[in-house]
Amino acid sequence: MTAGKTNESFSSEAVTRGIRVRVRPRFDPQRSQPAQGKWFFLYQVTIRNESAGTVQLLNRHWVITDGVGRVEEVQGPGVVGEQPILEPGDAFEYTSGCPLSTDVGKMEGSYQMIDDDGEPFDVDIAPFVLCEPSTVN
């Protein structure tokens, strides 16, 4: 499957308590039907533990805003069916998707993690843009 190119200017990166989250979105033309008002975007997430302790990702919380300001929130356990444990220096990478009814939107959110002392904390996912390439001139 071939998907659209990643536009680095639409990527995001944030570091919270030594946990770096980088997101690279891209348009997926194979799963999109613009004539029917359906656009599909993929986003590749890399979570890297740059802290001195072990952490585990427990839950995700996404805020998705489409091009006309409609907001949808998605919450649930783990990511892509996993609740990865990251030792210091480890990274976890996954790709997921987001359908939109507009050709542009944005996503942001947080991961709830737990440290090796059992204390929960939130890790920011900085806002990133979802945009069909022909929308950008």
Closest CA relative to residue 114, chosen from 69, 61, 59: 59
In a domain, 2, yes or no: no
Which stretch, 5-14, 97-106, 127-136, has highest mean pLDDT?
97-106
In a domain, 134, yes or no: no
Mean pLDDT across 27-31 = 96
In a domain, 133, yes or no: no
In a domain, 1, yes or no: no
The reported pLDDT for the residue numbered 37 is: 95
Residues with Cβ within 8 Å of 67's Cβ and at least 6 positions away in sequence, in order, are: 100, 102, 103, 104, 105
Give the total number of structural domains in the chain.
1
Quick check: 35 pLDDT over 80?
Answer: yes
The reported pLDDT for the residue numbered 8 is: 65
Handedness of CA 67, 110, 1, 137 (dihedral sign): positive
Quick check: 7 pLDDT over 70?
Answer: no
In a domain, 101, yes or no: yes
Quick check: 13 pLDDT over 70?
Answer: yes
Chain mean position to CA 118:
25
DSSP annotation of 5: P
The reported pLDDT for the residue numbered 68 is: 96
In a domain, 116, yes or no: yes
CATH number of the domain enclosing 33: 2.60.40.1470
Quick check: 1 pLDDT over 70?
Answer: no
pTM: 0.91
What is the percent of the chain where pLDDT is above 70? 92
Between CA 45 and CA 111 the distance in angstroms is: 12
Q: Using one digit for the tens of pLDDT, what is the confidence trace for 44-88? A: 999 999 999 999 999 999 999 999 999 999 999 999 999 999 999
The reported pLDDT for the residue numbered 136 is: 55
In a domain, 49, yes or no: yes
Print the domain residue range for 80: 8-126
In a domain, 90, yes or no: yes
